[in-house]
Amino acid sequence: MAKLSVEDLVVAYGSVTAVRNVSFTVEDGEFVSLLGPSGCGKTTTLRCIAGLEGSSAGTIRIGGEVVAADGRDVPPEKRGINMVFQSYAVWPHMTVFENVAYGLRTRREPAATVDAKVGEALKMVGLDGFAARYGTELSGGQQQRVALARAIVTSPRLLLFDEPLSNLDAGLRDRMRFELVALQRRLGQTSLYVTHDQSEAMLMSDRIILMKDGEMIQSGSPRDLYDRPASRFAAEFIGNANILQGDIVRAASDGRALVSLADGLTIEGLFSRPEAVRVSGAILVCIRAESIQRMRDAEDGPNAFDAEVTSASFLGPVVTCLLRIGGLTLRAELPARTAPAAGETIRVRIEPDAVTLIPNG
C-alpha cells in the first residue's frame, strides 16, 4: 500500500490540453474519486498514473517513488498498480481461475501460493465456486467481480478504477458500490476511482476531486462538496440545486447575509466558504431541493414563503414539486406522507443555514 501524489500534471494531445496542472494526493488506504462530466480529463489522468499514457509535464509519485517526471517514465508493470476498467477485459477463453492467476504466474509465484491467493481473492469478491467457469459463462456482474479479483490478487500498491460499474444494471450497480467499498475498507487498499456519477462518488469516497475541462474545480469530503460548493458548477453537478440570481442587501460579520431575489422577495443565507464572502453586489443563491420544508399554513419566520404547487410527481420516498414563489420557480423534494397536490397553495420555509451563497460566475 502506498500514497499517491500528482503534482502539476499536464497532458496535451496536439492542440488539445486534456489535463491542466492537476495536483492532488491520495493518502495510504484512502479512497478518492475523480468526478466530472464526460471529457473533463478523468481517464487521461488515471492512465498517466498507470503509465499507459505519457504526460507533457508534472510529477507522479507512488509510495514516494517518482514514476513519471521529466525524463523518467517507469513502465506500467513496474509501478505496482492494477487497474479495473469499464469493459471488464476478462479473457473469455480462460477459466475464472486462470484469469485471476495471470498476474501471479507472470511473477513466477509457486503453484501452491497461486492456488491460495486466487482462492482468497475469489472469496473476497463473492466468486467462491466459480474457479472452473469460462469467461463466456459469466454474467456482466460476475465478469466485473473477476476483474476485481484479478486486480487485488497481486496486492498492488495502488488500485485504479475507471468507471468500473457503468455497464451494470441499476440494481446490481447499486449493490456493487457497497460491496466494492466494503472490500476496499477490508483491504485498506489505496484507491483512485473515476466516475461521472455524482451519487456513486458521494457514496463511495473519502474524498472527491471535482474536475471540469481538464482542471480541478474543488476537492473535499462528499459532505463538504455538497454543503459548501465553491462555484455554480460544483453546486449544480452535485445534488439537485436551485440556483437563483440575487443581490446582497445587508451582510453580517458572521458569514450571513440578506439577499434580494426577483419580485421583491428577500432571503437570508450563509456564504459557502470564507473566500466567498462579499458585502455587496450580485451573488448566486443555492437552495437544495430537499431543503425546502412545508410548514403549517399561517406559520411565519425567516425565509417563509407562500408557494403555488404547479406540479407534483410521486417518486416513492419523496414527491418532487415545482413551486411558484413570486415570479420564481423552485424544485422541492417533499416527504411523500405530507406532500401537496398540484394546484394547492402551501406555506414553505428554508433554513437560512441551508441557503448557500456562492460567488457569481
Ligand X SMILES: Nc1ncnc2c1ncn2[C@@H]1O[C@H](COP(=O)(O)OP(=O)(O)O)[C@@H](O)[C@H]1O
CA dihedral 29, 81, 193, 2 (to 10 degrees): 20
Work out whether 42 is an interface residue with ligand X (CB under 6 A): yes
Regarding 176 and contact with ligand X (CB under 6 A), the answer is: no
Least distance CB 161 / ligand X (angstroms): 12
Segment interacting with ligand X, rule: CB under 6 A, options 13-21, 122-130, 260-268, 280-288 = 13-21
Binding of ligand X by 54 (CB under 6 A): no
Window contacting Mg ion (CB under 5 A); options: 37-45, 85-93, 153-161, 275-283? 37-45
**In whole angstroms, how close is the CB of 247 to ligand X at the nearest point?**
36
Any idea which residue has 473477476 for its cell? 146
Part of the chain binding ligand X (CB under 6 A), chosen from 40-48, 118-126, 145-153, 347-355: 40-48
Question: Judged by CB, which is closer to Mg ion: 43, or 191?
Answer: 43
43 near Mg ion (CB under 5 A):
yes
- Alpha-carbon span 140 to 98, nearest angstrom: 18
Minimum CB separation of residue 47 from ligand X in Å reads 8
Q: Which does 16 bind (CB under 5 to 8 A by kind): Mg ion, ligand X, none?
A: ligand X
- How many residues bind ligand X, per CB under 6 A? 11
327 binds ligand X (CB under 6 A): no
By CB under 6 A, tell whether 18 contacts ligand X: yes
Of 26 and 330, the one with the shorter C-beta distance to Mg ion is: 26
The only residue of 4, 6, 40, 259 in contact with ligand X, by rule CB under 6 A: 40
Asked if residues 147 and 88 have their Cβ atoms less than 8 Å apart, the reply is yes
187-190: long-range contacts, CB 8 A cutoff, minimum separation 24: 187/124, 187/152, 188/1, 188/29, 189/1, 189/29, 189/152, 189/156, 189/159, 190/1, 190/2, 190/3, 190/4, 190/26, 190/27, 190/28, 190/29, 190/30, 190/157, 190/158, 190/159
Strand ranges across the sheet with 16-26: 16-26, 4-13, 57-62, 65-69, 72-73
Give the span between the Cα atoms of 88 and 144, in whole angstroms. 5
Q: Least distance (Å) from Mg ion to the CB of residue 42?
A: 5
Single residue of 9, 22, 44, 330 touching ligand X by CB under 6 A: 44
Does 143 participate in binding ligand X (rule CB under 6 A)?
no
State phi, psi for 316 to the nearest 5 degrees: 100, -100
Which residue in 4, 6, 22, 41 binds ligand X (CB under 6 A)? 41
- Residues interacting with ligand X, by CB under 6 A? 13, 16, 18, 36, 38-44
